[in-house]
Structure 1
Amino acid sequence: MKKNVLALSIAAMVGSFAGVAQADVFAPANAATGAVLGTNVAAEPGVVGNVAASATVLEVNSNNVGHMLVVPYYTAQNGNMSVIHLSNTDRANGKAVKIRFRGAANSDDVKDFQIFMSPGDVWTGAVLQGADGAATLYSNDKTCTVPAIPATGTAFATARLNTTANVNGTREGYVEIFNMADIPSVKLYTATTPAGGVVGGAAGTANSILYTATKHVAGVAPCSVAGSASRSLLDEIALTSYTTGVHASSVGFGGATTGLSADWYILNLAQTTAFSGAATAIEARVAAGGAGGAANYVHFPQTDAGSAAFFGGTNKGADTYTADPLLRVNVHDQAKAAVVGPVVTPLFIDLPDMSTPYLPGSAPAGAAGDANLPKVQAVALTAALSRTSVSNQYALDAGISAQTDWVFSMPTRRYSVAANYKAATTGANNYRLYSDLSVVATAPGTPALTGLADEWFHPANTSVDARGNICVNADGIRFFDREETTTGNAPIFSPAVAGQLAFCGETSVLSLSTGKVLSSSSDLTATTTTSPYTNGWTLVTTTNAFVGVANTNTFTGGLPILGDAFIKMKNDSAGQGFASTFGLTWGHRYGR
């Protein structure tokens, strides 16, 4: 019997991967042949592939399609189930995607894995509380993930959490999703497996081995079949470090382009309540307000290799690829003193994150200033998400048992400040560690130090609550009823310093009533305030004005906030057998 060409290729490919001990980020190329990274040719007649022009700017896409996505909140508390539908709307390119669930209190990683999507593909997963109390991910989707998700689910981890949070800390948080690389559908290879790892170029007639392994056939991706040659090949590719564009493109990777979108919903079957929304999309564009472009290749192996074998090459280390203050070597404490890290050993699975250099103009090149490139990206993303005010509606009408929760998620705060659980106490100077984004003030190679002043999160506007959460001050909160009556700025979030407003934790839930719509844990980031009115709207001011000596950074003020209002109502007169509880979700409105 003639053996499958793909099966025969595995041994040769595995051999060619051996001995690579480092990973890297590199820019896409604009080759008309599509033989190297960054090329995007239509997969079928009439379908236009994404442009190959290099991206220069990161912007929020109001159409909710992009390179990066943020789901502002997930919960598995009190019978809640959170479901994500991730779509690849790109019909010309597959996507190698990283999805990471982060805990609400400190953005600690509680579960991450890779998803390999074919053109036009959708992946679906659900998170609910498992038997051991931890959040657990379930999926029976035919799209391939690395690792493969077992039928019994995969529990979220507590290793990175504060020990006082334990499994409770896994049950709430937010989700970040990245396109690490495209998987182009063009037939540019000389055979199913390129000989010697060399791409065939324009004369090729075969798809890449990665595309062939992940492309659905009759509704099933070959790599989804346990024990198959395609499954083994995909695992090997996902565990491999690619250090050049030629190496990555030889198996089928391309530069990252736009096309990802996601929808989420939170379902509580016992309460017959559902809430839903769309993920916020960040798009790498060729120019401000322009079309989506090609971003850097940022695939890292899905392994727990540590810093000893982390990166190779001059001026390349964890600081080159992340602004996370717990993973970096050079950070600062609450007293603005330099601290030598990392506090948490950086692993390959920690990357990419939202600060990994994504624009081709800032791909690490081994220069002395490359350690500032992730800070440049953190500044750009935080600026794109910053809002000077947040407003939304609330309903507290006792006649319909109305309750309202507001979610505030700050997905880029982790790249400015994070809690160090290894500190002696929460009041110790080294409990709050800062990346010092102000260091990118002039140019990556010649930074200007301004003492943690000209940025969104700094020692003067952050504090720590009794639960160990880092809090950032807001400027005020004002309630309005439906007839123009208003309170001024009297009410405050709790817990908070008297006379101040604060968002505590990276994803916090504010309940405007004694009942909690989302059943958020008061041991994590839940807070409560009281409205003097039954129904109306609320304005939270988040000006966060610059207070430094000289604003030499690109600091624009505001806070990087995403979120929604969740309103639950009950019809007590509903007959037996009829649903009596209803849920509404309204996205926040923002001032810039």
Structure 2
Amino acid sequence: MKKNVLALSIAAMIGSLGFAGVASAGTVITNPAPGAALEVTPTGIGHILLVPYFSTQNGNVSLLNITNTDQTNGKAVKLRYRGAANSDDIYDITIYLSPGDMWSANVSQVDGVSTLVTNDNSCTLPADVNVRFGTARLTAEDSLADNKAGTLEGYIEILNMADVPPGSALYTSIKHVKQADGSYVAPCATMPSQKTDLADYPAAQARGYDYPTGGLMANWSIINLDKAGSFTGDATAIIPDGGANIVFSPQEEEATVTAAAAALLTADPLLAAPTATLTAKNYDFPDLSTPYIGVIAPIDQAHMLSHALATASITNEYMTSPDVGFATDWTFSMPSRRYNVALNYKTSPASVVYATGGAYFTAANVTRVGDQICVNSKFEDLEYFNTEEGKKTTKPGGYVVSPQRPGVKPGLNFCGETSVLTFNNPLAEDQATPVLGALIARQNLQMESTAGSTDVYTDGWMSIKTAGNPGVGGDLGLPVIGHSFAKALAFSASLGGIWKHRTSTTNIVAVP
């Protein structure tokens, strides 16, 4: 992997000194036995967890359970919800899980804004996390009336920042204690202050922290009681192939972080120098580009994550049979895109800002359309089949996408960070998708049997090439995760299913 010499010099300083001299700007403490790569683990248990979609649109409620399967060590966990349009931070907290602990919450729409509610007894920072999602990062102005719709869909990041081994005051504070009524409650009120960063490894140990060892798993559900529907799934789990770094930042906003200091912690082009347009706060860190293994720059961490998720194609099935009123929505989430490209709402019109050294999303495959970033595709990238071997290899005029966004090249394009595709259900400009009720970044694909025909393939499967930008000796692919959600709308009770996208690493290469 190509390294920037200056970035490596800075990262080396971080590994040996923490952030000494940079007050309250977060900490990266390098593991002495670092890994060299990140990988998706089939066990579903890891250090980094990704929930590809949540929604409170159209009566949906999204539930989340995070479990610490480590029965020895506690975990300091960063939880962040990001918006579907452009990965903007809309809610983030720190959770302290004791050994074997589980934290649960639900997110629903209250007065038009996604709002999290939990009765869980695990310690959190802040202490009260039952609040509505924030809107300040969604446009140039923090106007709730204008921005609240941007909180209703998106995806979730979960990161093991550090372990909390037995023996410290911090461990004692987060360890659940049996109460007189038989419940178990953590004495969080006795937790030592966490408003300062960690100078170095001895300081981290003294405070009760150690290198993260993973062991996290998460399950999610999207439930709609009004429509008697529910979908469930497990988070995509990422692990390093060696030791992980401590990546801690205070969960507070009192101190601002300079763009230069932010550049040591993130590749987000809106937070990091030289392209920063937002004032970073301590709660912005860590994110998924904060150096998690070895002595590397944030953009290299982002590339590692992208490579772990990259696929050359996405394949799944769809059902739209009119006999039982079936409908199908597909989701496409790109959780590393923010560390390659972002949208600056402070300009008019909003402008695309690229991370220095970004590779997976660049001007070669990205287009701005209104207030969303779109990843381009071509007609020939897509082919679909019915259930009887009928094959449609697409070409211009070979299928119809609605609504077709002005300024986007013809074809199936991934607009928004978490894009939803529905099948054989032409969408008006303000019409939600039939299964998930998606509104922020959605489109319809009309599966014509022949170009211009009113006859469509109602059931079958589809494959989309996602080669992305070219690398050396292959393609980088696109880091995409998601599912096919199918439901029989004609029945009052839920009847349908959810299937993960099938992916391919054929000819996929890492950033050189």
Please point out which of 342, 355, 361 is paired with 1:435.
355
Please point out which of 157, 172, 178 is paired with 1:176.
157
C-alpha RMSD of the superposition: 2.0
How far apart are 1:498 and its partner, in Å?
Answer: 4.3
Q: Partner residue of 1:209?
A: 169
Q: Which amino acid aligns with 1:24?
A: T
Aligned pairs (5 A) from 1:115-194: 115-130=95-110, 132-149=111-128, 153-162=130-139, 166-185=147-166
**Equivalent position SS for 2:203:** helix
Deviation track 1:161-191 (CA, whole Å, cap 9, x = no partner) reads: 0269611100100000100000012xxxxxx
For residues 124 and 341 of structure 2, the distance between their equivalents in structure 1, rounded to whole angstroms, comes to 31
For residues 498 and 256 of structure 1, the distance between their equivalents in structure 2, rounded to whole angstroms, comes to 44
Q: Which amino acid aligns with 2:493?
A: S
**Equivalent position SS for 2:247:** coil
Deviation track 1:316-346 (CA, whole Å, cap 9, x = no partner) reads: 611111000101112xxxxxxxxxx310111
Q: Partner residue of 1:383?
A: 307
**Equivalent position SS for 2:95:** strand
For residues 591 and 424 of structure 1, the distance between their equivalents in structure 2, rounded to whole angstroms, comes to 39
Given that residues 274 and 583 in structure 1 are in contact (C-alpha distance below 8 angstroms), is that contact kept between their aligned partners in structure 2? Answer: no
Q: Partner residue of 1:533?
A: 457
Please point out which of 180, 205, 214 is paired with 1:258.
214
Q: Partner residue of 1:346?
A: 280
For residues 24 and 498 of structure 1, the distance between their equivalents in structure 2, rounded to whole angstroms, comes to 43
Q: Which amino acid aligns with 2:72?
A: A
Report how many residues are paired: 453
Deviation track 1:121-162 (CA, whole Å, cap 9, x = no partner) reads: 1111101001x2100001011111111236xx3100110002
Given that residues 306 and 345 in structure 1 are in contact (C-alpha distance below 8 angstroms), is that contact kept between their aligned partners in structure 2? Answer: no
For residues 108 and 45 of structure 2, the distance between their equivalents in structure 1, rounded to whole angstroms, comes to 26
Deviation track 1:29-86 (CA, whole Å, cap 9, x = no partner) reads: 5xxxxxxxxxxxxxxxxxxxxxxx5333211112111100100000001110000111
Aligned pairs (5 A) from 1:75-154: 75-130=55-110, 132-149=111-128, 153-154=130-131
How far apart are 1:545 and its partner, in Å?
Answer: 4.3
Q: Partner residue of 1:504?
A: 415
Given that residues 456 and 555 in structure 1 are in contact (C-alpha distance below 8 angstroms), is that contact kept between their aligned partners in structure 2? Answer: no
Write 1 or 2 for the structure with the bigger share of strand. Answer: 2
For residues 69 and 498 of structure 1, the distance between their equivalents in structure 2, rounded to whole angstroms, comes to 33
- Summarize the Cα distance change of 1:55–1:221 in structure 2 as closer, same or farther, 3 Å threshold: farther
Aligned pairs (5 A) from 1:217-232: 217-218=177-178, 219-224=183-188, 228=189, 230=190
Deviation track 1:440-460 (CA, whole Å, cap 9, x = no partner) reads: xxxxxxxxxxxxxxx221112
The structure having more radius of gyration, on CA atoms, is 1
Q: Which amino acid aligns with 1:589?
A: R
Aligned pairs (5 A) from 1:37-48: none
Q: Does 1:421 align with 2:345?
A: yes
How far apart are 1:306 and its partner, in Å?
Answer: 4.3
How far apart are 1:591 and its partner, in Å?
Answer: 1.6
- Summarize the Cα distance change of 1:97–1:484 in structure 2 as closer, same or farther, 3 Å threshold: same
Aligned pairs (5 A) from 1:182-581: 182-185=163-166, 207-218=167-178, 219-224=183-188, 228=189, 230=190, 233-234=191-192, 236-237=193-194, 239-286=195-242, 294-307=243-256, 317-330=261-274, 341-362=275-296, 373-426=297-350, 431-437=351-357, 455-465=359-369, 467-475=370-378, 476-489=381-394, 490-491=398-399, 493-494=401-402, 495-496=404-405, 497-514=408-425, 516-521=434-439, 524-531=440-447, 532-546=456-470, 556-570=475-489, 572=491, 580-581=493-494
Mean Cα deviation higher: 64-73 or 139-148: 139-148
Q: Partner residue of 2:10?
A: none
Given that residues 117 and 144 in structure 1 are in contact (C-alpha distance below 8 angstroms), is that contact kept between their aligned partners in structure 2? Answer: yes
For residues 122 and 422 of structure 1, the distance between their equivalents in structure 2, rounded to whole angstroms, comes to 40
- Summarize the Cα distance change of 1:484–1:56 in structure 2 as closer, same or farther, 3 Å threshold: same
Q: Partner residue of 1:448?
A: none
Q: Which amino acid aligns with 2:353?
A: L
Q: Which amino acid aligns with 1:249?
A: Q
Given that residues 21 and 310 in structure 1 are in contact (C-alpha distance below 8 angstroms), is that contact kept between their aligned partners in structure 2? Answer: no
User: Runs in 1 of length 4+ with deviation above 4 angstroms?
Assistant: 19-22
For residues 60 and 103 of structure 1, the distance between their equivalents in structure 2, rounded to whole angstroms, comes to 23
**Equivalent position SS for 1:393:** strand
Given that residues 177 and 187 in structure 2 are in contact (C-alpha distance below 8 angstroms), is that contact kept between their aligned partners in structure 1? Answer: no
Q: Partner residue of 1:589?
A: 502
For residues 177 and 378 of structure 1, the distance between their equivalents in structure 2, rounded to whole angstroms, comes to 15
Please point out which of 47, 58, 61 is paired with 1:67.
47
Deviation track 1:198-223 (CA, whole Å, cap 9, x = no partner) reads: xxxxxxxxx21011001112252333
- Summarize the Cα distance change of 1:88–1:556 in structure 2 as closer, same or farther, 3 Å threshold: farther
TM-score by length of 2: 0.84
Q: Percent of counterpart pairs with the same letter?
A: 39
For residues 115 and 330 of structure 2, the distance between their equivalents in structure 1, rounded to whole angstroms, comes to 24
Deviation track 1:235-280 (CA, whole Å, cap 9, x = no partner) reads: x12x221111111111210111120110101000111110011100
**Equivalent position SS for 1:145:** strand
- Summarize the Cα distance change of 1:28–1:220 in structure 2 as closer, same or farther, 3 Å threshold: farther
TM-score by length of 1: 0.73
- Summarize the Cα distance change of 1:24–1:469 in structure 2 as closer, same or farther, 3 Å threshold: same
How far apart are 1:492 and its partner, in Å?
Answer: 5.0
Given that residues 263 and 277 in structure 1 are in contact (C-alpha distance below 8 angstroms), is that contact kept between their aligned partners in structure 2? Answer: yes
How far apart are 1:581 and its partner, in Å?
Answer: 2.9
Given that residues 492 and 499 in structure 1 are in contact (C-alpha distance below 8 angstroms), is that contact kept between their aligned partners in structure 2? Answer: no
Q: Which amino acid aligns with 1:105?
A: A
